[in-house]
Chains A and B, each alone.
Chain A
Amino acid sequence: MEDSITRRTLLGAVGAGGFVSIAGCAGDSGDGGGNDDPYSSETKTGDGSSTDNNSSSGNNSTATGGSANVALSMDPTEGVWQVYGGVSPYYTNILEPLIWVSEEMKLEPWLATDWEATSDTTWEFTLRDSVKFHNGEDLVAEHVVWSFEQVLNEWSYAPGWLHVESGSVTAIDETTVEFETSDPFPTFPGTIAHNMIAIQHPDRSRENTEPIGTGPYQVEQRTQGQHVRTSGFDDYWNGTPSLDELTFSVITDPNTRALSLQNGDVDVAFDPPKSRVEKLDSNGGTNVTTQLSPGAVYVGCNIYKAPMDDPKLRQALNYATSQSDLVETILSNIGVPAKGPVAESIFWSAHEKLPAYEQDTEKAKQLVEESSYDGEALQFHLSNQQVDGELLAQALQQWYDEIGVNVDIQVTEEASFEDTVRSGEPHLILESSGTNSGAADYLIYETFHSEGDVNERLYNEEGTGIYNLGEEVDQLIQAGFQTGDQAEKEQKYEQALQRIMEEAVVVPINYSEYIVAASDGVSSMDLRPIPEMTRWTGLQTGQ
């Protein structure tokens, strides 16, 4: 019913003929827009060796068009995307935000080339020159204002989320936009480095489901709940898309997604079931790539509830834990052993600088004896939605038992989990974190700052909290949060994380990875830590 065919208004005729000649330079331009960091995901091929799927600096300039089909578990035609003409900006590259997010989770100038805070509550963004929309028009500041107004009016939570009210985005001139935030909000640029805050042309149609964006691919056909077929946009500002046609298919069932790939119905499948990873990798014809996400899993210690207030006990739990064993066995090697609570893919994770607690049962036993622990059972809470949560908790329970610490595992329904954590009842909590935007700052702020979301309630009521070490760490986090300078941010957050790990506020488990399976012919997938931000401009299918 809602299906419709979007025609390329200007380039339809030119496209097909001109493509082959233009395609020669596709690989050279890449799509990273001046990334200096090599693409870092690891590809395991059938024989177990590693190959590099590098795309950002394409030496391979033999692109000759072709088509590809990408299977997603989410439905890009869901009703919530009506504001963008019925197609999701997640994964599809049809619409783009002002700022993108790099392999290192740094902010990457995209439709905006530059931004600065002109006061505590105002930001000025400079737009990139000669960016074309799919309808051929140039991007100007008015389009950005219009796009923000759409989002702010469409989603009731958007003004609170972005700290921007409708009416406070203004065009200063053709290429400058000013944002006025409702309160000082230093992580504003990172917050809008999010697919959901995309820039679109006012001629896009909700009724006829015709999105108009600036991305390397433009919508040709949208079939509700099934697929979105796109074609390469030759006037893309950041390189020429290598494919003539790129389709995104919805396949919600993970097994069916993997089977569709094996059958050759699709070329790329996100998140195949873990149990099939090995098969997909050793099969002729398909391979599996893993990519670090900005997520991490760790056990949080409620440092205000006795006996967890004793750092010796917390260190003992760290010495009792072998991250690599957990990753190898329970997680089937999907994920990386962690040293801290913030994913290694985030540039300020301090992974290299954090103290390593190598598993040492004797030392752990000794620390327990020295501590104030008196044998009571510790309440270990986890959400029923946590993937592999119970298995992880049981493995930890066993290790802790070996050093003389009793642990009671309690599984809580996801919907009431957050509330249980904030009440301060549990001793230990299995936490997982992640972000969809460039503002990963909240991962540290909300969890470890006294006024962060997790600690706020108890901090205000009783002057305590959950994971907040207090004054010193608060100041470091505050300083990192306030600054727009990435080097300073890195330094402050790293110091805070070092304190957090010295005090053993958490027992790290793993940095999360996500899995993408693809046909062997597929190359130059430009995966990013945020999977929804995967770039497809250079994708090749080898056909």
Chain B
Amino acid sequence: MLLVLVGVSILTFLLLFLTPGDPAETILRQQMGGRTPSLEAIEQFRQSEGLNRPIPIQYVDWVTDVLQGNLRESYYQETPVSTLIINRIPATLELAVAGMAVALTIAIPTGIISAVHKGKAPDYLSQFAALVGVSMPNFWLGYILIIVFSLQLGLFPVAGVGGLESLVLPAITLGSGMAAIVTRLVRSSMLEVLDEEYIDTARSKGLRERIVIYKHALRNALIPVVTIVGLQFGYLLNGAVIVEIVFQRPGLGALLIDAIFARDYPVVQGLVLVIAVIFVLTNFAVDLTYRYIDPRISFGGESA
């Protein structure tokens, strides 16, 4: 786990220094409203931010700071990176969780119906919908939803954060892509499980079909789904970047985009690290839930 974090941080550090564009000049130009900064100003900036030193030394310095809980200060915003992230995290988490909720609400029932009615109309319909959902670019769906639900029906505000109503459209935009993936997964996983002999056994005991499907089949079918959903949570944070821009939600994604364009290195590095931590933690949480869903899985390896 720690290895992943170290790897991620080294990689972002290197990538940043490989991207063309001098942060000193870019930041100063932005701060000065587009005028070209003088060479002295650029040199002074490099000196004060330590950008003249060799990259490995800069990296070690940064890691030392991070280990002491200091994510440094944004070049452009002149605010501690940790403050920026803490300010922005609620909007993103809210969106990711809501997106996830939308995805699961759509995907699990559709996937089950699809599997149970395999090869019939509901199956084809849901498969088609899933295909559309996967193929549709996030930002485009966002605009479509705005035009239909905000402009024409007047149900939701176009953009911004606030009450539940401003969360609905972004959550649908974000969740739809994931819903499509999960639907297909639930379907295939259910089909596999429905072929198992213990399902035949359950049926032959005379259990009602509903109990067979929801109690015996679904529970087993959900194991791979949970894995993917856990992994997908990380990707939701990715998708949030675009959705946050379209719906003007001040979250981590919007912050990341701004920082990359501004060559605001401390913010990019800090954010990538935080996102990596979230990834690692969700994966860990996924491992833990296995045990709850399927008691046969254990971490000791012998008590099965």
Determine which of B48, B77, B161 lies in contact with A156 in the assembled complex, contact meaning CB atoms within 8 Å: B48
Please tell me which one of the listed residues B38, B245, B246 contacts residue A157 in the complex, with CB atoms under 8 A apart: B38
Given known A256-B246, A415-B22, contact A263–B150 (CB-CB < 8 A): yes
* Known A157-B28, A253-B246: A259·B78 in contact at CB below 8 Å: no
A260 & B158 in contact (Cβ 8 Å cutoff): yes
Q: How far is the CB of B232 from chain A (nearest CB, A)?
A: 25
List the B side residues contacting A415 at CB < 8 Å.
20-22, 25-26
Whole-angstrom CA separation of A416 from B33 in the bound complex: 19
Cβ contact within 8 Å between A259 and B31: no
Contact with B along A473-490 (1 / 0, CB 8 A): 000000000000000000
Task: With both chains docked as a complex, state the minimum distance between the C-beta of A214 and any C-beta of chain B, in angstroms.
Answer: 21
Question: Judging by beta carbons under 8 Å apart, are B248 and A418 in contact?
Answer: no
B64 at the binding interface (Cβ < 8 Å) = no
B290 at the interface (CB under 8 A from A): no
Binds A, one of B39-47, B172-180, B188-196, B218-226: B39-47
Residues of chain A within 8 A (CB-CB) of B26 are 415
Given contacts A156-B48, A224-B87, A265-B157, contact A80 B78 (CB under 8 A): yes
Q: Using a CB-CB cutoff of 8 Å, which residues 166-210 of chain A contact chain B?
A: 194, 196
B-contact 0/1 string along A124-158, CB 8 Å cutoff: 00000000000000000000000000000001110
CB-contact partner of A436 in B22, B34, B154, under 8 A: B34
Q: Report B-chain residues with C-beta under 8 Å of the C-beta of A453.
A: 36
- Cα distance A200–B84 in the bound complex, in angstroms: 26
User: Which chain B residues (95-152) contact chain A, with CB distance < 8 Å?
Assistant: 143, 146-147, 150-151
- Within 8 Å by CB of A1, from B36, B87, B143, B154, lies B87
A160 to B36 alpha-carbon distance, docked (Å): 12
Known A79-B76, A263-B150: A251·B87 in contact at CB below 8 Å: no
Whether A78 sits at the interface, judged by CB under 8 Å, is yes
Q: With A157-B28, A160-B41 in contact, is A255–B77 under 8 Å at CB?
A: no
The distance in angstroms between the C-alpha atoms of A416 and B246, with both chains bound, is 30
Cα–Cα distance between A436 and B35 once the two chains are bound (Å): 8
Cα A255 to Cα B245 in complex, Å, equals: 10
Determine the distance from Cα of A37 to Cα of B245 in the docked complex, in whole angstroms: 40
Residue in B79, B160, B245 whose CB lies within 8 Å of A79? B79
**Contact yes or no, A80 B77, CB < 8 A:** yes
The distance from the CB of B277 to the nearest CB of chain A, in whole angstroms, is 21
Q: Does A226 contact B (CB under 8 A)?
A: yes
Tell me which residues from 272 to 290 in chain A have a Cβ below 8 Å from any Cβ of chain B: none
Is A251 a contact of B246 with CB atoms below 8 Å? Answer: no
Report yes or no: B36 in contact with A255, Cβ–Cβ below 8 A.
no
> Chain A 431-454, CB within 8 Å of chain B: the 1/0 string?
000111100001000000000010
Question: What is the size category of the interface that chain B forms with chain A?
Answer: 35 or more
Known: A80-B31, A453-B36. A259 touches B77 (CB 8 A): no
Tell whether, in the assembled complex, residue A161 and residue B32 are in contact, meaning their CB atoms are under 8 Å apart. Answer: yes
Q: Is the CB of B254 within 8 A of A256?
A: no
Residues of A within 8 A of B84 (CB): 79
Q: Which residues of A contact B161 (CB under 8 A)?
A: 226
A273 to B31, CA, bound (A): 24
Which of chain A's residues have a CB closer than 8 A to the CB of B143? 255, 259
Assess A256 versus B21: contact at CB under 8 Å? Given A1-B86, A156-B44.
no
Chain B residue at minimum C-beta to C-beta distance from A415: B21
Interface string of B224-262 (1 = CB under 8 A from A): 000000000000000000000111101000100000000
Q: A1-B87, A259-B151, A263-B151 are in contact. Are A253 and B76 (CB under 8 A)?
A: no
In chain B, positions 56-80 with a C-beta closer than 8 Å to chain A are 74, 76-79
Most buried by A among B36, B154, B159: B159
Given A80-B76, A226-B160, A415-B20, are A160 and B246 also a contact pair (CB < 8 Å)? no
Give the chain A neighbours of B77 by CB distance below 8 A.
Answer: 78-80
A2 part of interface (Cβ distance < 8 Å): yes
Q: Which residues of A contact B78 (CB under 8 A)?
A: 79-80, 82
A35 at the interface (CB under 8 A from B): no
Would you give the shortest CB distance from A432 to chain B, in whole angstroms? Answer: 10
Shortest B22–chain A CB gap in Å is 6
On chain B, the residues within 8 Å of A414 by CB distance are 21
Alpha-carbon separation in the docked complex, A415 to B88 (Å): 29
Shortest CB–CB separation between residue B240 and chain A, in angstroms?
14
Given A156-B45, A263-B158, A415-B21, A253–B79 Cβ distance below 8 Å?
no
Chain A window 226-262, contacts with chain B (Cβ cutoff 8 Å), 1 for yes, 0 for no: 1000000000000000000000011111011001101
Question: Which residue in chain B gives the minimum CB-CB distance to A156?
Answer: B44
Question: Do residues A260 and B159 form an inter-chain contact, with CB atoms below 8 A?
Answer: yes
Other A-B pairs, 9, CB within 8 Å; known A82-B79, A265-B158: A78-B77, A79-B84, A161-B32, A226-B250, A259-B150, A263-B154, A415-B20, A415-B22, A418-B36
